[in-house]
Amino acid sequence: MPDSGVYAALELRKARSRRKRAPERFSQDVSADASKEPTNHEQAEGTHYEEMQSAPRFPLHLPVSVKAQSGAYSAETQNISANGVLFAMDNDVPVGSAVDFTILLPGDVVGSMKNVQIDCRGRVVRSFEDRGRRGVGVVIDEYRFERC
């Protein structure tokens, strides 16, 4: 299956993330990290925005519900990678905002008999206007797969 790589890419990112994180990282609140500026060390190694852009992107257009402090919104994915997702939506969500969102992947896309729901928590790292809609780029900080 050509798009089953999305699942593999997300699992690879999850495995890498486990190796990089200290145990206390799991107890931190995501909203506390949302306003975190990259350190000089991160900037020097290019591990901030450039690293997020380095993962292969899959052009999946799926409906998604996005919840931010400013409200709940409907959106559509434009592309998904192991590091994040780009949404097209009618509302602006400011850069740095913590967001929760749910993506429903059709079973045939991920090579499963059942659909797969991905519950994610992340933060907005990019926001721009594109053809009358907002493009909102979100880095994925946490996610959980559930078979429907």
Q: What is the pLDDT of residues 101-148, one digit of tens each?
A: 999 988 888 888 999 999 999 999 999 998 899 999 999 999 998 877
> How much is the pLDDT for 147?
75
pLDDT band at 98 (very low <50, low <70, confident <90, very high): very high
CA 8 to chain centre: 15
SS3 assignment, position 94: coil
* Mean pLDDT, rounded, for 70-91: 94
pLDDT (tens digit, 9 = 90+) per residue, 64-80?
999 999 999 999 999 99
CA-derived radius of gyration, the chain: 15
pLDDT band, residue 88 (cuts 50/70/90): very high
CA distance 143 to 132: 30
Asked if 128 contacts 99 with a C-beta cutoff of 8 angstroms, the reply is no
Contact 65, 74 (CB under 8 A): yes
Give the list of residues 6+ apart from residue 47 with CB closer than 8 angstroms, or none.
Answer: 38
pTM of this structure: 0.63
* Model confidence pLDDT, tens digit, residues 28-61: 333 334 344 444 333 333 344 445 567 899 898 9
Using the predicted structure, report yes or no on whether residue 90 has a pLDDT greater than 80: yes
Domains of the chain, earliest start first:
2-24+57-147 (2.40.10.220)
Per-residue model confidence (pLDDT) at position 74? 95
